[in-house]
Amino acid sequence: MSKQPAKPTTLDEARNAKPALLAALAGDERVNGVGLGYDPADGYVLKVNLTVPEASAVVPPAVNGVPVRTEVVGTVHPQ
């Protein structure tokens, strides 16, 4: 029997999972942003902006069933 693909994550599911991810990453100075993104295969995802690649080790792959993506953007400075 073939495995059915997971249904794409809805916007509400991603919004509801975001506070748990924020709590898990709170205080880590290598994280400089948490938001929502969209992946055509997975639907809505949680997106974490990092200052350094090594910080991805502390980011969970999913929160409450919502996939988490990371991107190294470096340090953000106000302009």
For residue 43, tell me if it sits in a domain: yes
Q: What integer pLDDT is reported at residue 1 of this predicted model?
A: 46
For residue 18, tell me if it sits in a domain: no
Task: Note the pTM of the prediction, 2 decimals.
Answer: 0.86
Quick one: average pLDDT of 7-14? 96
d(CA 13, CA 17): 6
What letter represents residue 53's amino acid?
P
Q: Is the pLDDT of residue 4 over 70?
A: no
Number of compact structural domains in the chain = 1
For residue 16, tell me if it sits in a domain: no
Range of the domain at 53: 30-79
| Maximum C-alpha span of the chain | 56
Categorize the per-residue pLDDT at 2 as very low, low, confident or very high, splitting at 50, 70 and 90: very low
Per residue in 12-62, pLDDT (tens digit) is 999 999 999 999 999 999 999 999 999 999 999 999 999 999 999 999 999
